[in-house]
A and B are shown apart, each in its own frame.
Chain A
Amino acid sequence: MEQFQSDESLLALFRNPGTKEAAFTAIVNKYKERLYWHIRRMVIIHEDADDVLQNVFMKTWKGLEQFRAESGLYTWLYRISTNESITHLQNQKKKRAAVSFGNEQDLAGQIRADPYFDAKKIEWKLQLAIQRLPEQQRLIFNLRYFDEMPYQKMSEILGVTEGALKASYHHAAKKVENYLRNS
Protein backbone atom coordinates (compact mmCIF):
# COMPACT_ATOMS: atom_id res chain seq x y z
CA MET A 1 0.00 0.00 0.00
CA GLU A 2 1.61 3.23 -1.10
CA GLN A 3 1.85 6.25 1.12
CA PHE A 4 0.68 8.68 -1.57
CA GLN A 5 -2.90 7.42 -1.21
CA SER A 6 -5.37 10.03 -0.03
CA ASP A 7 -6.27 10.22 3.66
CA GLU A 8 -9.88 9.43 2.84
CA SER A 9 -9.02 6.17 1.07
CA LEU A 10 -6.56 5.22 3.83
CA LEU A 11 -9.25 5.78 6.44
CA ALA A 12 -11.70 3.66 4.46
CA LEU A 13 -9.11 0.87 4.26
CA PHE A 14 -8.38 1.19 7.96
CA ARG A 15 -12.04 0.57 8.78
CA ASN A 16 -11.95 -2.67 6.83
CA PRO A 17 -10.55 -5.44 9.09
CA GLY A 18 -8.86 -7.13 6.10
CA THR A 19 -6.80 -4.05 5.18
CA LYS A 20 -6.58 -2.38 8.58
CA GLU A 21 -2.93 -3.21 9.28
CA ALA A 22 -1.73 -2.29 5.81
CA ALA A 23 -3.65 1.00 5.93
CA PHE A 24 -2.15 1.84 9.30
CA THR A 25 1.36 1.11 8.05
CA ALA A 26 0.70 3.41 5.08
CA ILE A 27 -0.50 6.18 7.42
CA VAL A 28 2.63 5.75 9.56
CA ASN A 29 4.88 5.90 6.50
CA LYS A 30 3.08 8.92 5.15
CA TYR A 31 3.29 11.04 8.31
CA LYS A 32 6.16 9.69 10.44
CA GLU A 33 8.81 12.15 9.22
CA ARG A 34 6.65 15.26 9.37
CA LEU A 35 5.38 14.37 12.82
CA TYR A 36 8.85 13.38 14.02
CA TRP A 37 10.29 16.80 13.14
CA HIS A 38 7.32 18.57 14.65
CA ILE A 39 7.87 16.64 17.89
CA ARG A 40 11.66 16.87 17.77
CA ARG A 41 11.54 20.66 17.54
CA MET A 42 9.52 20.64 20.73
CA VAL A 43 11.32 18.00 22.83
CA ILE A 44 14.83 18.44 21.29
CA ILE A 45 16.29 15.01 22.18
CA HIS A 46 15.95 12.19 19.64
CA GLU A 47 15.12 9.49 22.23
CA ASP A 48 12.32 11.62 23.66
CA ALA A 49 11.01 12.39 20.17
CA ASP A 50 11.01 8.66 19.39
CA ASP A 51 9.07 7.88 22.58
CA VAL A 52 6.52 10.61 21.86
CA LEU A 53 6.17 9.53 18.22
CA GLN A 54 5.53 5.94 19.33
CA ASN A 55 2.84 7.19 21.72
CA VAL A 56 1.27 9.28 18.98
CA PHE A 57 0.93 6.30 16.66
CA MET A 58 -0.24 4.07 19.52
CA LYS A 59 -3.04 6.55 20.18
CA THR A 60 -3.71 6.74 16.46
CA TRP A 61 -4.07 2.95 16.27
CA LYS A 62 -6.47 2.92 19.22
CA GLY A 63 -8.48 6.00 18.27
CA LEU A 64 -8.60 5.97 14.50
CA GLU A 65 -11.75 3.87 14.32
CA GLN A 66 -13.58 6.48 16.38
CA PHE A 67 -12.10 9.30 14.27
CA ARG A 68 -15.08 11.11 12.71
CA ALA A 69 -13.04 12.90 10.04
CA GLU A 70 -14.56 16.26 10.97
CA SER A 71 -11.03 17.60 10.68
CA GLY A 72 -8.45 16.16 8.31
CA LEU A 73 -6.32 13.19 9.37
CA TYR A 74 -3.24 15.36 9.07
CA THR A 75 -4.73 17.96 11.44
CA TRP A 76 -5.80 15.25 13.87
CA LEU A 77 -2.32 13.68 13.92
CA TYR A 78 -0.70 17.08 14.43
CA ARG A 79 -3.03 17.74 17.32
CA ILE A 80 -2.15 14.45 18.99
CA SER A 81 1.56 15.10 18.41
CA THR A 82 1.30 18.60 19.85
CA ASN A 83 -0.57 17.41 22.94
CA GLU A 84 1.80 14.50 23.48
CA SER A 85 4.83 16.78 23.14
CA ILE A 86 3.40 19.30 25.60
CA THR A 87 2.52 16.52 28.06
CA HIS A 88 6.05 15.16 27.73
CA LEU A 89 7.56 18.59 28.39
CA GLN A 90 5.29 19.13 31.39
CA ASN A 91 6.30 15.78 32.83
CA GLN A 92 9.95 16.68 32.30
CA LYS A 93 9.34 20.01 34.01
CA LYS A 94 7.78 18.27 37.01
CA LYS A 95 10.71 15.88 37.25
CA ARG A 96 13.14 18.77 37.20
CA ALA A 97 11.12 20.97 39.54
CA ALA A 98 13.57 20.27 42.32
CA VAL A 99 16.41 21.70 40.22
CA SER A 100 16.62 25.48 40.31
CA PHE A 101 16.69 26.22 36.56
CA GLY A 102 13.62 26.12 34.33
CA ASN A 103 12.70 23.87 31.46
CA GLU A 104 13.55 26.41 28.75
CA GLN A 105 17.10 26.77 29.99
CA ASP A 106 17.33 23.02 30.25
CA LEU A 107 16.22 22.55 26.65
CA ALA A 108 18.85 25.10 25.60
CA GLY A 109 21.37 23.04 27.57
CA GLN A 110 20.29 19.94 25.67
CA ILE A 111 20.83 21.78 22.38
CA ARG A 112 24.31 22.82 23.45
CA ALA A 113 25.02 19.22 24.46
CA ASP A 114 24.29 17.99 20.93
CA PRO A 115 27.49 16.50 19.43
CA TYR A 116 27.02 18.56 16.26
CA PHE A 117 26.29 21.83 18.07
CA ASP A 118 28.14 24.79 16.60
CA ALA A 119 27.51 28.10 18.35
CA LYS A 120 28.71 30.04 15.29
CA LYS A 121 26.15 28.59 12.90
CA ILE A 122 22.94 30.53 12.44
CA GLU A 123 20.70 27.43 12.46
CA TRP A 124 21.90 26.54 15.96
CA LYS A 125 21.56 30.14 17.12
CA LEU A 126 18.02 30.05 15.78
CA GLN A 127 17.27 26.92 17.81
CA LEU A 128 18.63 28.57 20.96
CA ALA A 129 16.53 31.66 20.25
CA ILE A 130 13.39 29.54 19.85
CA GLN A 131 13.97 27.89 23.23
CA ARG A 132 13.76 31.30 24.88
CA LEU A 133 10.17 31.73 23.71
CA PRO A 134 7.21 30.81 25.94
CA GLU A 135 5.83 27.32 25.19
CA GLN A 136 2.79 28.46 23.18
CA GLN A 137 4.78 30.98 21.13
CA ARG A 138 7.45 28.38 20.48
CA LEU A 139 4.85 25.97 19.17
CA ILE A 140 3.25 28.60 16.93
CA PHE A 141 6.61 29.78 15.65
CA ASN A 142 7.70 26.24 14.78
CA LEU A 143 4.48 25.42 12.95
CA ARG A 144 4.57 28.66 10.96
CA TYR A 145 8.27 29.10 10.30
CA PHE A 146 9.41 25.53 9.67
CA ASP A 147 6.22 23.77 8.56
CA GLU A 148 4.84 26.89 6.83
CA MET A 149 1.44 25.88 8.08
CA PRO A 150 -1.48 28.18 7.18
CA TYR A 151 -3.00 30.05 10.12
CA GLN A 152 -6.36 28.44 9.43
CA LYS A 153 -4.83 24.97 9.86
CA MET A 154 -2.97 26.08 12.98
CA SER A 155 -6.22 27.41 14.35
CA GLU A 156 -7.81 23.97 13.91
CA ILE A 157 -4.91 22.23 15.61
CA LEU A 158 -4.40 24.60 18.51
CA GLY A 159 -7.94 25.85 19.01
CA VAL A 160 -6.76 29.49 18.90
CA THR A 161 -8.22 32.20 16.65
CA GLU A 162 -6.29 33.14 13.54
CA GLY A 163 -5.89 36.73 14.75
CA ALA A 164 -4.34 35.59 18.01
CA LEU A 165 -2.04 33.21 16.13
CA LYS A 166 -0.83 35.99 13.80
CA ALA A 167 -0.14 38.31 16.71
CA SER A 168 1.63 35.55 18.61
CA TYR A 169 3.79 34.62 15.62
CA HIS A 170 4.83 38.22 15.02
CA HIS A 171 5.79 38.67 18.67
CA ALA A 172 7.79 35.45 18.55
CA ALA A 173 9.49 36.37 15.26
CA LYS A 174 10.52 39.76 16.65
CA LYS A 175 11.98 38.15 19.76
CA VAL A 176 13.92 35.64 17.68
CA GLU A 177 15.21 38.39 15.39
CA ASN A 178 16.38 40.44 18.40
CA TYR A 179 18.13 37.41 19.87
CA LEU A 180 19.90 36.70 16.58
CA ARG A 181 20.94 40.35 16.28
CA ASN A 182 22.37 40.49 19.80
CA SER A 183 23.95 37.05 20.04
Chain B
Amino acid sequence: MKQDAAYNILNRIRQEQKTNPGFTLPEGYFEAFTDRLMTTIKETSADEAPLLPLLDAAPRKMPYSVPLRYFTQFRVDRGMVISFKRGLTIAASFILLAVTSIFLFTKKPQTTETASLPAVTAAVNRLTNEQLERFMQPEELPSKEKPAVRQTVNAQSADMTKLFKNVPDAELANFLNETAEGNDEIFLN
Protein backbone atom coordinates (compact mmCIF):
# COMPACT_ATOMS: atom_id res chain seq x y z
CA MET B 1 0.00 0.00 0.00
CA LYS B 2 2.74 2.43 0.98
CA GLN B 3 4.73 1.63 -2.19
CA ASP B 4 1.70 2.38 -4.32
CA ALA B 5 1.20 5.74 -2.65
CA ALA B 6 4.85 6.75 -3.24
CA TYR B 7 4.65 5.68 -6.85
CA ASN B 8 1.55 7.77 -7.38
CA ILE B 9 3.20 10.89 -5.93
CA LEU B 10 6.35 10.55 -8.12
CA ASN B 11 4.21 9.90 -11.17
CA ARG B 12 2.17 13.06 -10.55
CA ILE B 13 5.38 15.17 -10.13
CA ARG B 14 6.76 13.80 -13.42
CA GLN B 15 3.55 14.66 -15.20
CA GLU B 16 3.59 18.21 -13.84
CA GLN B 17 7.27 18.71 -14.84
CA LYS B 18 6.49 17.62 -18.39
CA THR B 19 3.85 20.27 -18.75
CA ASN B 20 5.62 22.99 -16.72
CA PRO B 21 9.36 22.39 -16.07
CA GLY B 22 9.70 25.22 -13.50
CA PHE B 23 13.54 25.51 -13.75
CA THR B 24 15.23 27.88 -16.13
CA LEU B 25 18.82 27.84 -17.44
CA PRO B 26 20.95 30.81 -18.48
CA GLU B 27 21.22 31.10 -22.19
CA GLY B 28 24.07 29.07 -23.68
CA TYR B 29 24.90 27.54 -20.26
CA PHE B 30 26.01 24.15 -21.55
CA GLU B 31 27.88 25.64 -24.51
CA ALA B 32 30.01 27.82 -22.22
CA PHE B 33 30.38 25.26 -19.45
CA THR B 34 33.57 23.57 -20.69
CA ASP B 35 35.43 26.83 -21.26
CA ARG B 36 34.52 28.14 -17.83
CA LEU B 37 35.62 24.91 -16.18
CA MET B 38 39.00 24.97 -17.89
CA THR B 39 39.58 28.59 -16.90
CA THR B 40 38.82 27.71 -13.27
CA ILE B 41 41.23 24.76 -13.35
CA LYS B 42 44.02 26.95 -14.74
CA GLU B 43 43.45 29.62 -12.10
CA THR B 44 43.47 27.05 -9.30
CA SER B 45 46.69 25.47 -10.58
CA ALA B 46 48.35 28.88 -10.72
CA ASP B 47 47.38 29.47 -7.08
CA GLU B 48 48.76 26.10 -5.98
CA ALA B 49 52.09 26.40 -7.76
CA PRO B 50 54.08 29.30 -6.33
CA LEU B 51 55.60 31.75 -8.76
CA LEU B 52 59.28 31.00 -8.61
CA PRO B 53 60.94 32.78 -11.51
CA LEU B 54 64.45 32.69 -10.06
CA LEU B 55 64.26 29.07 -8.99
CA ASP B 56 62.79 28.06 -12.33
CA ALA B 57 65.61 29.85 -14.12
CA ALA B 58 68.35 28.31 -11.97
CA PRO B 59 70.28 25.48 -13.65
CA ARG B 60 69.73 22.10 -12.06
CA LYS B 61 73.32 21.01 -12.52
CA MET B 62 75.47 20.40 -9.46
CA PRO B 63 78.27 22.89 -8.96
CA TYR B 64 80.29 20.42 -6.87
CA SER B 65 83.31 18.72 -8.37
CA VAL B 66 84.24 15.05 -8.12
CA PRO B 67 87.81 13.68 -8.27
CA LEU B 68 88.88 12.60 -11.74
CA ARG B 69 87.70 9.09 -12.68
CA TYR B 70 85.98 8.69 -9.29
CA PHE B 71 82.99 6.86 -10.73
CA THR B 72 84.98 4.63 -13.06
CA GLN B 73 87.34 3.64 -10.27
CA PHE B 74 84.67 3.32 -7.60
CA ARG B 75 84.81 -0.08 -5.88
CA VAL B 76 82.92 -1.29 -2.84
CA ASP B 77 85.40 -2.73 -0.40
CA ARG B 78 83.24 -5.44 1.13
CA GLY B 79 86.01 -6.45 3.51
CA MET B 80 86.14 -2.96 4.93
CA VAL B 81 83.41 -2.97 7.53
CA ILE B 82 84.77 0.20 9.09
CA SER B 83 84.93 3.37 7.05
CA PHE B 84 88.31 4.93 6.45
CA LYS B 85 87.67 7.90 8.70
CA ARG B 86 86.29 5.73 11.47
CA GLY B 87 89.22 3.35 11.04
CA LEU B 88 91.65 6.20 11.47
CA THR B 89 89.87 7.32 14.62
CA ILE B 90 89.98 3.80 16.06
CA ALA B 91 93.66 3.38 15.16
CA ALA B 92 94.48 6.73 16.73
CA SER B 93 92.59 5.71 19.88
CA PHE B 94 94.55 2.46 20.11
CA ILE B 95 97.86 4.26 19.67
CA LEU B 96 96.89 6.79 22.31
CA LEU B 97 95.85 4.00 24.66
CA ALA B 98 99.10 2.10 24.08
CA VAL B 99 101.25 5.19 24.62
CA THR B 100 99.32 6.08 27.77
CA SER B 101 99.68 2.52 29.08
CA ILE B 102 103.42 2.46 28.41
CA PHE B 103 103.79 5.83 30.07
CA LEU B 104 101.77 4.77 33.11
CA PHE B 105 103.42 1.37 33.58
CA THR B 106 106.96 2.59 33.13
CA LYS B 107 106.66 5.99 34.70
CA LYS B 108 104.51 5.21 37.72
CA PRO B 109 107.06 3.08 39.65
CA GLN B 110 109.72 5.69 38.96
CA THR B 111 107.56 8.42 40.34
CA THR B 112 106.89 6.29 43.44
CA GLU B 113 110.61 5.71 43.93
CA THR B 114 111.54 9.30 43.42
CA ALA B 115 108.75 10.36 45.69
CA SER B 116 109.66 7.93 48.47
CA LEU B 117 113.47 8.19 48.27
CA PRO B 118 113.83 11.68 49.72
CA ALA B 119 111.40 10.70 52.46
CA VAL B 120 113.48 7.65 53.37
CA THR B 121 116.71 9.65 53.20
CA ALA B 122 115.27 12.30 55.46
CA ALA B 123 114.05 9.67 57.92
CA VAL B 124 117.48 8.00 57.99
CA ASN B 125 119.14 11.36 58.50
CA ARG B 126 116.97 11.97 61.53
CA LEU B 127 118.22 8.75 63.17
CA THR B 128 121.03 9.01 65.71
CA ASN B 129 124.19 6.97 65.34
CA GLU B 130 123.12 4.78 68.23
CA GLN B 131 119.81 4.02 66.61
CA LEU B 132 121.62 3.11 63.44
CA GLU B 133 124.07 0.83 65.24
CA ARG B 134 121.22 -0.82 67.05
CA PHE B 135 119.56 -1.35 63.69
CA MET B 136 122.75 -2.81 62.23
CA GLN B 137 123.45 -4.99 65.32
CA PRO B 138 120.15 -5.91 66.85
CA GLU B 139 120.44 -6.90 70.52
CA GLU B 140 117.75 -9.44 70.52
CA LEU B 141 117.49 -11.65 67.53
CA PRO B 142 115.25 -14.60 67.23
CA SER B 143 116.96 -17.87 68.11
CA LYS B 144 117.36 -19.03 64.59
CA GLU B 145 120.61 -20.66 63.59
CA LYS B 146 121.96 -18.32 60.95
CA PRO B 147 121.39 -14.95 62.67
CA ALA B 148 122.89 -16.44 65.83
CA VAL B 149 126.08 -17.32 64.00
CA ARG B 150 126.24 -13.86 62.50
CA GLN B 151 125.81 -12.34 65.97
CA THR B 152 128.68 -14.44 67.30
CA VAL B 153 130.94 -13.41 64.47
CA ASN B 154 130.02 -9.76 64.93
CA ALA B 155 130.56 -9.95 68.66
CA GLN B 156 133.95 -11.64 68.17
CA SER B 157 135.11 -9.03 65.67
CA ALA B 158 134.03 -6.24 68.07
CA ASP B 159 135.98 -7.85 70.94
CA MET B 160 139.06 -8.38 68.80
CA THR B 161 139.07 -4.71 67.81
CA LYS B 162 139.03 -3.71 71.46
CA LEU B 163 141.82 -6.19 72.29
CA PHE B 164 144.10 -5.18 69.43
CA LYS B 165 143.63 -1.51 70.25
CA ASN B 166 146.16 -1.63 73.13
CA VAL B 167 148.66 -4.02 71.49
CA PRO B 168 151.84 -2.31 70.13
CA ASP B 169 152.39 -2.56 66.37
CA ALA B 170 155.69 -4.43 66.65
CA GLU B 171 154.21 -7.22 68.76
CA LEU B 172 151.30 -7.48 66.43
CA ALA B 173 153.66 -7.83 63.46
CA ASN B 174 155.62 -10.59 65.19
CA PHE B 175 152.43 -12.41 66.04
CA LEU B 176 151.24 -12.23 62.46
CA ASN B 177 154.58 -13.51 61.17
CA GLU B 178 154.49 -16.46 63.52
CA THR B 179 150.98 -17.41 62.70
CA ALA B 180 151.59 -17.00 58.98
CA GLU B 181 154.53 -19.38 59.14
CA GLY B 182 152.44 -21.87 61.10
CA ASN B 183 149.70 -21.64 58.49
CA ASP B 184 152.18 -22.27 55.68
CA GLU B 185 153.41 -25.36 57.44
CA ILE B 186 149.94 -26.62 57.90
CA PHE B 187 149.19 -25.81 54.30
CA LEU B 188 152.38 -27.53 53.10
CA ASN B 189 151.67 -30.62 55.14
CB-CB nearest in chain A for B57: A122
Check if B33 is an interface residue, CB within 8 A of chain A. Answer: no
- For B76, the chain A residues whose CB sits under 8 A away are 24, 28, 54, 57-58, 61
Which listed segment binds A: B48-56, B125-133, B171-179? Answer: B48-56
Residues of B within 8 A of A57 (CB): 76
Q: With both chains docked as a complex, state the minimum distance between the C-beta of B49 and any C-beta of chain A, in angstroms.
A: 8
Q: Which residues of A contact B50 (CB under 8 A)?
A: 170, 173-174, 177
Give the size category of B's interface with A: 20 to 34
CB distance from A135 to the nearest CB of B (A): 19
- B28-39, CB under 8 A of A: which get 1 and which 0? 000000000000
- Could you list which residues of chain B lie within 8 angstroms of chain A, going by C-beta atoms? 48-50, 52-55, 57-67, 70-71, 74, 76-78, 80-81, 83-85
- Min distance, Cβ B80 to any Cβ of chain A, angstroms: 7
Cα distance A116–B83 in the bound complex, in angstroms: 27
A37 touching B65, Cβ below 8 Å: no
Query: What residues on B are CB-neighbors of A115 within 8 Å?
Result: 65
Residue of A123, A125, A145 with highest tally of chain B CB at under 10 A? A123
Pair A54/B63 contact, Cβ less than 8 Å: no
Query: A61-B76, A121-B63 given as contacts; is B55 within 8 A of A177 (CB)?
Result: yes
Identify 12 new A-B residue pairs, CB closer than 8 A, beyond the known A122-B54, A123-B62.
A37-B62, A47-B85, A54-B76, A58-B78, A114-B64, A117-B63, A118-B63, A121-B63, A122-B59, A123-B61, A177-B53, A180-B54
The residue from B52, B63, B77 contacting A124, defined by CB atoms under 8 A apart: B63
Q: How many chain A residues have a CB neighbour from B under 8 Å?
A: 40
Task: Give the distance in Å from the alpha carbon of A81 to the alpha carbon of B66 in the complex.
Answer: 18
**Which of the residues B52, B59, B71, B80 comes within 8 Å of A173, measured between beta carbons?**
B52
A181 touches B54 (CB 8 A): yes
Q: How far is the CA of A180 from the CA of B59 in the complex (A)?
A: 13
Q: In this assembly, does A126 line the interface, its C-beta being within 8 Å of a C-beta of chain B?
A: yes
Known A-B contacts A173-B52, A174-B52; the reply to A54 vs B60 at CB < 8 A is no
Report the bound CA distance from A66 to B70 in whole Å. 30
CB-CB nearest in chain A for B61: A123
Residue A15 interfacial (CB < 8 Å): no
Give 8 A-B contacts (CB < 8 Å), ordered by A residue. A24-B76, A46-B64, A46-B66, A53-B74, A54-B83, A122-B58, A123-B63, A176-B55
